[in-house]
Structure 1
Amino acid sequence: MSGDGARAWVHRAVRLVEADANRSADTHLRVLPLPPAWGVQLYLKDESTHPTGSLKHRLARSLFLFGLANGDIGPGTTLVEASSGSTAVSEAYFARMLGLEFVAVVPRTTAVAKLELIRRHGGRLHLVDRPGEVYAVAEGFGARDGWHYLDQFAMASTVTDWRGNNNIACSIFGQMALEENPEPEWIVVGAGTGGTSATIGRYCRHTRRRTRLAVADPEGSAFAEAWRTGSRTVTAPGSAIEGIGRPRVEPSFVPGVIDLVETVPDAESVAAVRILHERTGIRAGASTGTNLALALRLVDRLRREGRPGSVVTLICDDGSRYGDTYYDDAWVAARGWDVAAARERLEPLFGDA
Structure 2
Amino acid sequence: MSLQLPSEWGVHLYLKDESTHPTGSLKHRLARSLFLYALCNGWLRPGCPVVEASSGSTAVSEAYFARLIGVPFVAVMAAGTSPNKIHLIELNGGTCHFVDDASQVYEVAAQLAAEAGGHYMDQFTYAERATDWRGNNNIAESLFSQLEDEPHPEPAWIVTTAGTGGTSATFGRYLRYSGRMTGLCVADPENSAFMPGWRDHDPQKRTPVASRIEGIGRQRMEPSFVGTVVDRMIAVPDAAAIASIRYLASTTGRRAGASTGTGLWAAFHLVSEMVAAGESGSVVALLCDDGDRYLDKYYSDTWLAAAEIDPAPYEILMDQFLSSGALNSPARFRE
TM-score in terms of structure 1 length: 0.90
Closer, same or farther in 2 for the Cα pair 1:180/1:148, shift >3 Å? same
- The yes-or-no answer on 1:156 pairing with 2:127 is yes
Structure 1 residues 144-223: aligned runs within 5 Å: 144=115, 146-223=117-194
Unpaired runs of at least 5, structure 1: 1-29
Per the alignment, in what secondary structure is the counterpart of residue 232 of structure 1?
coil
Query: What corresponds to 1:265 in structure 2?
Result: 237
Whole-Å Cα distance in 2 between the matches of residues 332 and 157 of structure 1?
33
1:52 is aligned, of 12, 15, 23, to 23
- The yes-or-no answer on 1:330 pairing with 2:302 is yes
**Alignment check: 8 A CA contact 1:296 1:350 kept:** no
2:214 is aligned, of 215, 239, 242, to 242
Per the alignment, in what secondary structure is the counterpart of residue 206 of structure 2?
coil
Structure 1 residues 65-144: aligned runs within 5 Å: 65-144=36-115
Whole-Å Cα distance in 1 between the matches of residues 90 and 324 of structure 2?
43
Closer, same or farther in 2 for the Cα pair 1:69/1:350, shift >3 Å? farther
Q: Deviations over 1:232-272 (max 9, x none)?
A: 01111221000000000000000000011111001000010
The one-letter amino acid paired with 1:323 is: L
Whole-Å Cα distance in 2 between the matches of residues 311 and 70 of structure 1?
37
Whole-Å Cα distance in 2 between the matches of residues 201 and 212 of structure 1?
8
Whole-Å Cα distance in 2 between the matches of residues 54 and 180 of structure 1?
27
Query: What corresponds to 1:33 in structure 2?
Result: 4
- The yes-or-no answer on 1:301 pairing with 2:305 is no
Query: What corresponds to 2:292 in structure 1?
Result: 320
Query: What corresponds to 1:311 in structure 2?
Result: 283
Whole-Å Cα distance in 1 between the matches of residues 324 and 5 of structure 2?
7
Report the Cα offset of residue 351 of structure 1: 4.6
- The alignment's C-alpha RMSD in Å is 1.2
Identity among equivalent positions (%) equals 56
The one-letter amino acid paired with 1:47 is: E
The one-letter amino acid paired with 1:78 is: P
Report the Cα offset of residue 141 of structure 1: 1.6
Report the Cα offset of residue 197 of structure 1: 0.2
Query: What corresponds to 1:23 in structure 2?
Result: none
Report the Cα offset of residue 146 of structure 1: 3.2
**Alignment check: 8 A CA contact 2:49 2:116 kept:** no
Report the Cα offset of residue 288 of structure 1: 0.4
The one-letter amino acid paired with 2:104 is: E
The one-letter amino acid paired with 1:68 is: L
The one-letter amino acid paired with 2:275 is: R
Query: Which ranges of 4 or more aligned residues in structure 1 deviate by more than 6 Å?
Result: none
Per the alignment, in what secondary structure is the counterpart of residue 311 of structure 1?
strand
Query: What corresponds to 1:18 in structure 2?
Result: none
The one-letter amino acid paired with 1:289 is: G
Q: Deviations over 1:55-97 (max 9, x none)?
A: 0000000000011111011322210000000000000011111
Whole-Å Cα distance in 1 between the matches of residues 228 and 268 of structure 2?
24
**Alignment check: 8 A CA contact 1:284 1:317 kept:** yes
Closer, same or farther in 2 for the Cα pair 1:65/1:269, shift >3 Å? same
Whole-Å Cα distance in 1 between the matches of residues 66 and 124 of structure 2?
19
Per the alignment, in what secondary structure is the counterpart of residue 317 of structure 1?
coil
Whole-Å Cα distance in 1 between the matches of residues 323 and 255 of structure 2?
19
Report the Cα offset of residue 145 of structure 1: 5.5
Report the Cα offset of residue 352 of structure 1: 9.5
- The yes-or-no answer on 1:231 pairing with 2:196 is no
Report the Cα offset of residue 326 of structure 1: 0.3
Closer, same or farther in 2 for the Cα pair 1:225/1:139, shift >3 Å? same
Unpaired runs of at least 5, structure 2: 326-335
**Alignment check: 8 A CA contact 1:222 1:238 kept:** no
